[in-house]
Amino acid sequence: MIDEEQEQIDAELAELRKNVTIPYLPPIDTAIISEEEVYTLVLDLDETLIHYECDDADGDYYLIRPGAIKFLKEMALYYEIVVFTAAMPEVSLKFLTQSILCQVC
């Protein structure tokens, strides 16, 4: 049983790795940030910017940390922002495209 689970984990990881390309980040939009002194700010999504819950009764929901949107808007003026997450891509992309990114842009 454990070997089957590990094989499935390995297969999922191999599938995720297909999405990784070099360079890891897209080119910087020089209309927003000067390319001369670019710094990258890496933030953790899980339990730092948001709290995500999956509840059978209420469905999926998340809570955005107070001040997170304002913080991201301000930091986006000075830094290239990278959001790290340990969540599955479907969960993190759903959240980022439907909430934080829409409010920051």
pLDDT in tens, 12-50: 888 878 877 776 677 777 776 666 777 888 998 888 888
CATH number, domain of 51, equals 3.40.50.1000
63 assigned to some structural domain: yes
Residue 52's domain comprises 31-104
d(CA 72, CA 103): 9
Contact between 64 and 83 under an 8 Å Cβ cutoff? The reply is: no
Domain membership of residue 36 (yes or no) is yes
Q: Are 52 and 92 in contact (CB under 8 A)?
A: no
Residue 93 resides in a domain: yes
Q: Domain total for the chain?
A: 1
What is the C-alpha to C-alpha distance for residues 25 and 75, in angstroms, rounded to an integer? Answer: 17
Query: Which of 1-5, 15-19, 20-24, 97-101 is predicted with the least confidence, judged by mean pLDDT?
Result: 97-101
88: in domain: yes
